[in-house]
Amino acid sequence: MSKTREIKAQSRKDEGKGASRRLRRASFVPAVVYGGSQPPESIQIEHNTILLAAKNEWFFSSVLDLNVDGKVQKVLVRDWQKHPFKQLMMHMDFMRVNEKEAIRVSVPLHFLNKEKSPAAKTSGVVISHNLTEVEITCLPKDLPESIELDLAELKPGDIIHLSQLKLPKNVELVALHGGEGHDTPVVTANMMQEEAEEAPAAEAAAPAAPAAAAPAKKDEKK
């Protein structure tokens, strides 16, 4: 189960693009908290707090303790906007969490021991990670920060599907609710296809074209 982390914030009353620009110039990130039985709430968070937290996987896949003016709410990050090329977070959306209701969250996959597997030690085998995260559903208290997949026994030609992932207790994969047709591959270990074209040992020589006959000389008039 994931640990909850506290993010401190302050309520704000000024809204609109102009107010958001002023907040960013003052090194704050404008954000909104919504969901549950309460109305949406506009807040502001120190930019360095967000920038440091956003460097961790848990920030985007864990239940957070959002402390707004001393009042703590359980939330999940639901959306964020970054500057196209600067290290700046422009806006955040947080969704309130009801601890008694199941939530749907995408969590990262962590691949372990790939280098120890028979597939990795076999020349010409390409190990592909077809998925890097999966969407799960569970109660907030059961939410894992990540799901681990041990590849130590992966052999050439193996395919690991979603249904083969070892999930924590009370955690389900959303995709598998759709049936077997949604049991997609997570990892594949395929041999490289070498398309070496061998030239024929001997090619039948094409008959040489006959040399063009020299034009006949006209009889010289005597």
Question: Do 89 and 54 meet the contact criterion of CB atoms below 8 Å apart?
Answer: yes
Neighbours of 149 (CB within 10 A): 21
The stretches in the chain having pLDDT less than 70 are 1-4, 194-222
Distance (Å, whole) CA 111 – CA 154: 11
Distance (Å, whole) CA 158 – CA 120: 12
**pLDDT per position as a tens digit, 103-139:** 999 999 999 999 999 999 999 999 999 999 999 999 9
Query: Which candidate, 20, 28, 5, 8, places its Cα nearest to that of 68?
Result: 8
Q: What is the pLDDT of residue 208?
A: 54
Q: What is the pLDDT of residue 15?
A: 76
The whole model's pTM is what? 0.76
Q: Helices then strands (H, E): number in the chain?
A: 3, 13
Q: What end-to-end distance do the CA atoms of the chain give, in Å?
A: 116
